[in-house]
Chain A
Amino acid sequence: MSVWGDLVGLLRGEPQADRVVPRSGQAAKLTLAVSGAMAFLAVFALALSLASGRLADRWSAALAQSSTIRLSAPEAEIEAQTWAVLTVLEQTPGVDSARALSDDEQRALLEPWFGPDLPVADLPVPRLIEVIETPEGYDSAGLRQRLAAEAPGAVLDDHTRWRRPLVAAADRLRLLGWVSLGLILASTAAMITLAAQAALASNEQVIRVMRLVGARDAYIARAFVRRFTRRALTGALAGAALGTIAIALLPRAADEGAFLTGLGFQGVAWLWPLTIPALAAFTAFWATRIAAFRTLRGLR
């Protein structure tokens, strides 16, 4: 019997044939429990992966096209050097716009650490100049050389130093999420294979009787495959539903909140957990089919 035939049989169901394999047994409970637990974990792995991806994209986009020039100079020279820096930036290819942050903006940046009443004007706080790049970007080495000549107190911080490891970490986390999903699927396949083999071994008498009365191996295998695939699907549906509910119930927070609060799905990504039961059923179908035919070949 072809795989196609098995799939059609799976969808159509064969009530008479399904009764041939006994319903009870540890293997049945194990399949249900493993599928449910693995689907629950898979939802978290999926959420982690998607959240990491969003984080990496956000950090990458937010930091990639902006940089800061920090200007420290005696009070008498600060305006002149600011002017010099802005002039240099105006003439630099790859710089879209540049502006010096106002005292209020600098105070807002320092407020989380020093409170709202910080006398910025009385403190030796460096002047910050925000630089927005064009998509092509600028030559940071050349800009540094020109700044050193025109405004010696200016230091260019293009965020590369700490952007790259953050984005790399987020990308790695995303990869780990997908690897975890793969491992969960592989573990599910392994567990269901073992459960199917145990079920086939414990039903040797059933197989013997079925063969005696003229059952083809494909028929016997199909009876087991249908049973295990449906159990895996049922367990995974329950596990995925619980996992999705758990994700939905995570506390919400603003964008600047901790990473974990952004672990949920967003928009159409809420549909992703639906793929987990389908994947579990697909995995169970193949794992049981391979295990069944291998076991049946071993039984004369």
Chain B
Amino acid sequence: MQDAAFGYGAEPILSALSLRLAPGSFHFLTGPSGAGKTTFLKLCYAELVATAGSVTIFGEDAATLDRDRIALTRQRIGVVHQDCEFLDHLPIRENIALPLTVAGRDVQGNEANLDELIAWVGLSARAHARPPELSGGERQRAALARAIIMDPDLILADEPTGNVDWEMSLRLLQLLAELNKMGKTVLIATHDMALIRAAKAQVQARVLRLAGGHISAAGADL
């Protein structure tokens, strides 16, 4: 990200953001509600295009990506939202496999991996339930499983623990830390400082503090 800015009107929400997420790094993006954390993440997966400066994703300028390139780029990025959306008419197992389906991969040939992943996030017993039947924590774990089934290089999580209890928050954090140990780059947007403190025992993380549209503190090791 180089001098990147974004705004819906004259007043920018984010401005002069410059940073680089190194491969295999683990970052927390924190800041008060409305600071622009979600907007920041959307810039990272090309949901939004910077109104000034540039955002480079896997070596390509996000502003120059057409829809097909954006789709291909997103196959390398796993995104977990606070209010994770699913296809409500499909069982959670098929929702988790959706990235494989849309990428034209052989889902049946990946049955074993899929089962293993579902077991890893602790949803084996709920694999055939529909998304509306799941609890908040189960939805978050399903969203995480969906985000990583394509073995992405980057995982972006927007308030992943916002709708779950503390125990489940720690479980999700543990899963993300495990992924980071596998070499994935992880960026978690959260305003939950307790979660950031809890991460200290598990990962070497950096905190980006977003306030007033700027990153006011970067590189602070926990």
Residues of chain A at the chain B interface (Cβ within 8 Å): 16-17, 19-20, 22-24, 205-206, 208-219, 296, 300
**Main SS of the interface on chain A?**
helix
Task: Give the chain A neighbours of B98 by CB distance below 8 A.
Answer: 20, 209-210, 213
Task: Give the chain A neighbours of B103 by CB distance below 8 A.
Answer: 214
Task: Give the chain B neighbours of A17 by CB distance below 8 A.
Answer: 101-102
A212-B74, A212-B85, A216-B71 are known; give 18 further A-B pairs, CB within 8 A. A16-B107, A17-B102, A20-B87, A20-B102, A22-B89, A23-B89, A209-B86, A210-B98, A211-B71, A213-B102, A214-B72, A214-B102, A214-B103, A216-B67, A216-B68, A216-B72, A217-B67, A217-B68
Which of chain B's residues 65-79 have a Cβ closer than 8 Å to chain A?
67-68, 71-75, 79
Task: Give the chain B neighbours of A205 by CB distance below 8 A.
Answer: 85
Task: Give the chain B neighbours of A219 by CB distance below 8 A.
Answer: 71, 102, 104
Task: Give the chain A neighbours of B134 by CB distance below 8 A.
Answer: none
A228 to B74 Cα, complex, angstroms: 28
Which of chain B's residues 54-104 have a Cβ closer than 8 Å to chain A?
67-68, 71-75, 79, 85-87, 89-90, 94, 98-99, 101-104
CB of A214 within 8 A of CB of B74, answer yes
> Is residue B150 within 8 Å, beta carbon to beta carbon, of the partner chain?
yes
Task: Give the chain A neighbours of B102 by CB distance below 8 A.
Answer: 17, 20, 210, 213-216, 219
Q: How many residue pairs bridge A and B at CB < 8 Å? A: 60
Task: Give the chain A neighbours of B139 by CB distance below 8 A.
Answer: none
CB of B107 within 8 A of CB of A214, answer no
Interface centre among B72, B73, B94, B102 (most CB of A within 10 A): B102
CB of A214 within 8 A of CB of B85, answer no
Sample of 11 A–B contacts (CB below 8 Å)? A209-B85, A209-B98, A211-B71, A213-B98, A213-B146, A214-B75, A214-B150, A215-B102, A216-B67, A219-B104, A300-B47
Distance in angstroms from A46 CB to nearest chain B CB is: 39
CB of A214 within 8 A of CB of B99, answer yes
Distance in angstroms from B102 CB to nearest chain A CB is: 4
Interface centre among A16, A24, A212, A213 (most CB of B within 10 A): A213
Distance in angstroms from A207 CB to nearest chain B CB is: 10
Distance in angstroms from B89 CB to nearest chain A CB is: 4
A68 to B101 Cα, complex, angstroms: 78
A213 CB contact (under 8 Å) in B47, B73, B99: B99
